[in-house]
A = this chain, B = another copy of it.
């Protein structure tokens, strides 16, 4: 069975399938077969897709959606609905079929017929925003699960704040073998187990098949034993036995721990030859096999046709939660915290926070503190955290370095979710995914810290945040060779470029305390994507004396204009802006007048109009300074610009030694300017 790389027939699975198919058809099975038939038809019509998973998990999904899942198809945005996350996102037709059958608007037969076509809400993988009932974008394996942990945590935190009468729902996940093999499943499961997120339940599609063949080709682990080690409750069921499924779901609803249910299934259930093999996973069954599968299931309908007597119980299931929802709406209407609850769930910022920040910035303009920007970030948080109660922090075990914790924030603890600070552990990817879940759930604005270099560990989750348009704020400290002795493994070089290249991410590297405050303002207001605050370990002088408005919001601006005509323009970011300012002074002493442009956010500057860009960049020769690789700087420096920065990896030494060693100094800038001016 488990011979290496074997993708051939699976006799045991076929025998099990035959035995199940020989049983009399029940209403549950007929309802599940509607999912199977729609999945088969949509994949055949699209000529591509993944029929195996929807066919295998149709029974489990039917059990969950018809009796247990709290939802009302009439309003998929109901705040107290259960969340359902299809972590095995390739099985998207499972979700679309469920939405269709339960009567969700916007997922009619015509939408299913356009499965995987341009502008269809039934995209290849579930895409957030394509339909209001799609809780998140899934497809990159493991991340649905890890994000769901954040959703489940959000529920607990909001319940602690607003009470059970407003917040009392569960988070359900369908995950495949691939999800459980991914490393992030470990981080997420360990965090969920630690925090005792008992309202989280994972249905594992335990089908013993991966793309390369039997799971035995590449894995021998016992996942339930592993999850038990994390503090989860575990159950094993026949994934085609409704009684067992219902019993397990009932168990999950009473558990004091997060729950994983191994649903032993036959992938491609119903397909006469491809069931139980990787052959049913990622390609259409093909006309003959598709026909035969429907026959075997007892489904005698034309493609995309569901009989009314099958729609009926499905529509009833879709309306099952209506009473509960109406009762909840009544409770909300008279709840003393209604306004606050609605505000946070709508993602609206509270009154007063902007004024508090303005006052803080005015104070900075006066006191001109020399601070590392990570310290400045902490000071900004000291203003923001009291002003924005939905702001919740955390760090991947670098709290004292990231300076993400401020006074008055208590830690979220197992069983006690009243705190606002999450100790994520050494789990960067798990943290970023959980942050996405906190944001997606609604009601919270998550920020989390790690070293900038370890943004690589969580890059897949940042990408998913960008794709979904989720407000997650990453506090990324120790942003360059300026971190010093820890050496090249800890020194970001290409990270700024790599995130500037990613669509819909704001990568912000502020130069001083005022810019850091402005960066926080931008991040908090950026509701349509993640923001990365890239912050220094080492101190920088105050560079700004005016704090009106928000200059970071324009991406780049003239920090210091040349006295008279510009001989050159020095463009710098973060800690290198003060180097540029030093060079400007030294050059002025030589009679060379240059402007210094601070460019904390390339993405925002790129959005400004051409006139503003031209005004900032000027016509004079341009010199760029950044303690990072220069990839992508050409856009702003033009064809003849000069870049002063890194050309390879860093080294282990004190920061000031490294700046000297790599030639990122005031003297180097002065030399580059004089060369350019004399050229």
Q: Tell yes or no: A463 within 8 A of B by CB.
A: yes
Whether A456 is near chain B, meaning CB under 8 Å from some CB there, is yes
A504 touches B218 (CB 8 A): no
Q: Are B229 and A225 in contact (CB under 8 A)?
A: yes
Contact B183 A631 (CB under 8 A): no
A112-134: CB near B (< 8 Å → 1, else 0) gives 00001110100111010000000
Partner of A498, one of B226, B427, B502, B634: B502
Is A423 located at the chain interface by the 8 A CB criterion? Answer: yes
Report the contact-size class of chain A (Cβ under 8 Å from the partner).
Answer: 35 or more
Indicate whether A19 reaches chain B with its CB closer than 8 angstroms. no
A157 to chain B, nearest CB (A): 14
Known contacts A118-B651, A649-B467; A228/B231 CB under 8 A: no
B397 touches A218 (CB 8 A): yes
Question: Are A118 and B652 closer than 8 Å at their CB atoms?
Answer: yes
Chain B hits for A424, CB < 8 A:
218
Give every chain B residue within 8 A of A211 (Cβ-Cβ).
397-401
Query: Roughly how many angstroms separate A193 CA and B181 CA in the complex, as a whole number?
Result: 13
Tell me the number of copies of this protein. 2
Considering only residues 50-90 of chain A, those with a C-beta below 8 Å from chain B are 89-90
A589 at interface, CB cutoff 8 A:
no
Q: Is the CB of B502 within 8 A of A494?
A: yes
Q: Is A183 a contact partner of B397 (Cβ separation < 8 A)?
A: no
Note all chain B residues with C-beta closer than 8 A to A457: 140, 182, 460
CB distance from A396 to the nearest CB of B (A): 9
For window 95-120 of A, CB contacts with B under 8 Å fall at 116-118, 120
Asked if residues B405 and A5 are in contact (CB atoms below 8 Å), the reply is yes
For residue A398, which residue of chain B has the nearest CB? B211
* A9 at the B interface (CB under 8 A): no
CB of A4 within 8 A of CB of B413, answer yes
* A139 to B486 CA separation, bound complex (whole angstroms): 9
Instruction: Say whether B504 contacts A501, CB under 8 Å.
Output: no
Contact of A217 among B48, B225, B411 (CB under 8 A): B411
Chain B contacts of A657 at CB under 8 A? 117-118
Tell me if A539 is interfacial: C-beta within 8 Å of chain B: no
Whether B229 contacts A123 by the Cβ 8 Å rule is: no
> B220, A231: Cβ atoms under 8 Å?
yes
**Most B Cβ at <10 Å: residue of A138, A212, A454, A631:** A212
| CB-CB contacts below 8 Å: A128-151 with B | 137-141
Contact B183 A500 (CB under 8 A): no
B497 and A632 contact, CB distance less than 8 A: yes
Smallest CB separation, A620 vs chain B (Å):
15
- A185 at the binding interface (Cβ < 8 Å): yes
Residues from chain B with Cβ under 8 Å of A181 in the complex: 187, 190, 397, 425-427
Contact, CB under 8 Å: A661 / B118:
yes
Q: For the complex, what is the distance from the CA of A89 to the CA of B486, rounded to whole Å?
A: 10
A503/B411 in contact, CB under 8 A: no
* Interface contact A221-B190, CB-CB below 8 Å: yes
Contact of A124 among B231, B414, B430, B652 (CB under 8 A): B652
Q: Which residues of B contact A459 (CB under 8 A)?
A: 456, 459
> Cβ of A178 < 8 Å from any Cβ of B?
yes
Interface positions of A from 493 to 515, Cβ below 8 Å from B: 493-494, 497-498, 500-504
Q: Which of B231, B425, B654 contacts A210 (CB 8 A)?
A: B425
Interface residues in A440-460 by Cβ distance below 8 A to B read 453-454, 456-457, 459-460
A222 in the interface (beta carbon within 8 A): yes
A125, B425: Cβ atoms closer than 8 Å: no
Set of chain B residues within 8 Å of A490, measured between Cβ atoms: 124-125, 139
A648 — which chain B residues lie within 8 A by C-beta? 503-504
A561 within 8 A of B: no
Q: For the complex, is A464 an interface residue (Cβ under 8 Å from B)?
A: yes
Chain B residue, CB-CB nearest to A122: B652
Question: Which of B138, B430, B464, B501 is the one whose CB lies under 8 Å from A629?
Answer: B501
Is the CB–CB distance between A647 and B425 below 8 Å? Answer: no
B500 near A631 with CB under 8 A, answer yes
A487, B221: Cβ atoms closer than 8 Å: no
Tell me how far the C-beta of A95 lies from the nearest C-beta in chain B, rounded to whole angstroms: 14
Are B212's CB and A423's CB within 8 A? Answer: yes
Query: What residues on B are CB-neighbors of A220 within 8 Å?
Result: 190, 193-194, 230-231, 414
Contacts of A629 in B (CB 8 A): 501, 503
With A210-B425, A219-B425 as known contacts, state yes or no: A123 contacts B184, CB within 8 Å: no
**Contact partners of A516 in chain B: CB under 8 A:** none
CB nearest neighbor in B for A186: B186
Tell me how far the C-beta of A658 lies from the nearest C-beta in chain B, rounded to whole angstroms. Answer: 7
Q: Which of B124, B184, B486, B634 touches A486 (beta carbons < 8 Å)?
A: B124
A210 and B397 form a contact (CB under 8 A): yes
Contact between B118 and A488 (Cβ–Cβ < 8 Å)?
Answer: no
User: Given contacts A501-B631, A631-B631, could you give 8 more A-B pairs where the C-beta distance is less than 8 Å?
Assistant: A124-B485, A212-B397, A212-B399, A221-B231, A226-B230, A457-B460, A497-B631, A634-B634
**What are 27 A-B residue pairs whose CB atoms fall within 8 Å in the complex?**
A4-B423, A5-B405, A116-B654, A117-B653, A118-B651, A118-B661, A124-B490, A125-B487, A125-B489, A127-B652, A137-B489, A139-B486, A140-B457, A183-B184, A183-B187, A190-B219, A193-B220, A194-B219, A218-B397, A220-B230, A220-B414, A225-B225, A454-B460, A456-B463, A501-B629, A503-B647, A503-B649
Instruction: Sort A-B residue pairs by CB-CB distance and give the 4 closest, nearest first.
Output: A183-B183, A218-B425, A186-B186, A4-B411
